[in-house]
A and B are shown apart, each in its own frame.
Chain A
Amino acid sequence: MSVPLPPGLQLEKFEEDDKIMTLNVGPQHPGSGHMRLIIRVDGDYIVSCDPDPGYVHRGEEKMAEYRNYILNIPHLERPVIHDSCNILYPYVLGVEELLGLEVPERAKYVRVIAAELNRLSYTLYWLAIYGIFLGHSTMFMWPVGDRELAIDLLDKLTGARVTHSYFVPGGIRNDFPANFEDVCIRQVNYLKKRLKTYGDIFYDNPILISRTEDTGILSREDAIRLGTTGSVLRASGVDFDVRTKEPYDAYEELDIHTNVLKKGDSYDRSKVPWLDMLESCNIIKQALEKMPKSGSVRVKLKPNPKGGDDEVYKRVESGRGSLGVYIVSRSKPEPYRLKLSVGSFRNLICLPYLLKGEKLGNMPAVYWGLNYWPVEADR
């Protein structure tokens, strides 16, 4: 071969025996999101895969060290703007523990409703992308259209369509607008009816089943060993959901069913989020029934609050799995160190493992089945 190129510039390369070819998937390829996969193929089969994230790294953790606990709210939700309530949730819970705040009962329920609506809007977005990359364009149109229902509700509730900044330490920013309960229950009932039709058109579709069944099988033992989380873990037969195992806020009082599937292939991984969405509709309806009908939604904070010499690790169940925030406080208004442990980053480790020996054409089914969001993984 001629003069070797520097490692970052190689687009495709044959190795010595002209059998193994190295391919770059991404970072601009629409099928990979903002990340690069360096894939070595032998004919049609993948020999190895080396994920290379970091194209949308924004240094959220470093930025958080320069801003106080309130100013951190808007920028910490940026990694996943369409799941912004859930990414703020552990941060807000952690700050409340550091400052010793007691959240009013009504605010706990409103938070649960906002978080579940956000899970719906995130998962529908993910399902739309999953559908279009498997060549099912109806499954792109329908979720994007139905997602408007959840977004409209969140818009009414928080005033913004995607970046809500709704949760604050000590409660939520504002109470329900007038007549919200009725609109919410009506739209959620309709959404649930729509979601059930997805089963007929998508999950029972023989073409989808033939493409995703038995591809990228992750066994129960490997799912635990690799420390996966969220839908990837539950599709492999592990019954773990932070909402039921370590309930926070009002989830303690609600009856939540955890959806667990056994096989651990790409089909199961795509089905668990859909079942979770149906469960989210039930949770919202339960929360609306059980919540106190009046009361304050926020406790007053001192200006520029300081935490003690303490540390806290809080986790919640986001759309992509367990989302943990570790805050180290050193008696200052700013956190000394803030770490986001996100589900996407934790699930990334199984990508090289799952793609090995798989056909190149199955790459999108495996990659998008992981419920991976590159911006969140890079932070």
Chain B
Amino acid sequence: MSSSDTDTKTETKEKETTQTKPVVVETTPAEKGPELPKFEKDLSNKITEKFGSKTEIAFVKPDRVRVNVKKEDIINVASYIRDELNFDHAESVTGVDFPNDKEIEVVYHLGSYTDPKLARQVLSLATRTTREDNPNPGNDSTRLPSLRDIFYSVEFHERECFEMLGVYFEGHPDNRRLLLPEDWADIPPLRKDFAIKGR
């Protein structure tokens, strides 16, 4: 009952805003609150029911759900996502450097080919590891467990993340350079303190 009330309210709100505002419309974060897409909400509820406070749902948008986990739990959460939620491959693995937090974030974008209901969905699974100011890739504390045994398709993506951000993936069979030259001796280039000359 209450949900249908909120739905109608939000609809009327939307109509008003589109009529009054000019062509350039900016989304405000407050609009997101009441109207969460149902299928995506179910997906995120399943994960929170299973893992409780170990996971944090960062956002639920149409077709996109993001789950933040600690690096100790990522193997368990990823196995659950593969076995119970039917996500079967990784679309991309992105490392993001946050020097102010002294952390590096790695985001796995997971998709599904086998389950037609999930064809539109991309689930982001994110975790963070510590970042050192003087990186020594492979030998410092910037480490994460590899998801290669769970999602085989991350193999080359994780190799790229290792050379570009210096995140060593434990359990990855082949932590070698991929794109950079063999004699690259500088810091990993996608870290924020690696500056392009003249910029």
Q: Is the CB of A59 within 8 A of B189?
A: yes
A123 contacts chain B at the CB level, 8 A cutoff: no
Tell me whether B179 and A57 are in contact (CB under 8 A): yes
- B63 at the A/B interface (Cβ < 8 Å)? yes
Give the residues in chain B near A102, CB-CB below 8 Å.
23, 25
Known: A66-B196, A300-B23, A349-B153. A224 touches B113 (CB 8 A): yes
Contact pick for B124, options A53, A313, A349, CB 8 Å: A313
Closest Cβ–Cβ distance, residue A203 to chain B (whole Å) = 26
Which B residues, 25 to 82, have Cβ-Cβ distances below 8 Å to chain A?
25-27, 29, 63-64, 66
| Measured CA separation A247–B94 after assembly (Å) | 24
Interface size on B, residues (CB 8 A): 44
A8 contacts the other chain (CB 8 A): yes
Q: Which of A102, A341, A378 has the most CB of B within 10 A?
A: A341
What's the least CB distance linking A107 to chain B, in Å?
13
Q: Is A227 an interface residue (CB 8 A)?
A: yes
Cα A341 to Cα B63 with chains together (Å): 18
The contact of A7 among B90, B96, B122, B182, by CB within 8 Å, is: B182
Partner of B24, one of A245, A302, A322: A302
Whether B109 lies near A341 (C-beta < 8 A) is yes
- Interface pair A53/B179, CB less than 8 Å apart: yes
Contact string, B154-169, partner A, CB cutoff 8 A, digits 1/0? 1111001000000000
B93-104 vs A, CB cutoff 8 Å, 1 = contact: the mask equals 010110000000
A-B contact count (CB 8 A): 102
Residues of A within 8 A of B178 (CB): 53-54
Given contacts A100-B27, A300-B23, A346-B153, contact A227 B89 (CB under 8 A): yes
Find the residue from B88, B89, B155, B194 having the highest chain A CB count within 10 A: B89
Tell me if A157 is interfacial: C-beta within 8 Å of chain B: no
A101 CA to B157 CA in the complex, in Å? Answer: 32
* Contact, CB under 8 Å: A224 / B114: yes
The answer to whether A339 has its CB under 8 Å from any CB of chain B is yes
Contacts of B96 in A (CB 8 A): 328, 336-337
Asked whether, in the complex, the Cβ of A227 is within 8 Å of the Cβ of B124, the reply is no
Which chain B residues lie closer than 8 Å to A62 at the CB level? 189-190, 194, 196
- A57/B180 contact (C-beta < 8 A), A66-B196, A226-B152, A349-B153 known: yes
Most buried by B among A240, A315, A337, A378: A337
Cross-chain contact of A8 among B24, B29, B124, B182 (Cβ < 8 A): B182
B93 CB, min distance to chain A CBs, angstroms: 8
9 A/B residue pairs, CB under 8 Å, sorted by A: A54-B178, A54-B180, A102-B23, A227-B91, A238-B113, A240-B119, A246-B63, A315-B91, A324-B109
Report which B residues bind A (CB closer than 8 A).
Answer: 23-27, 29, 63-64, 66, 88-92, 94, 96-97, 107, 109, 113-114, 119-120, 122, 124, 151-157, 160, 177-182, 189-190, 194, 196, 199
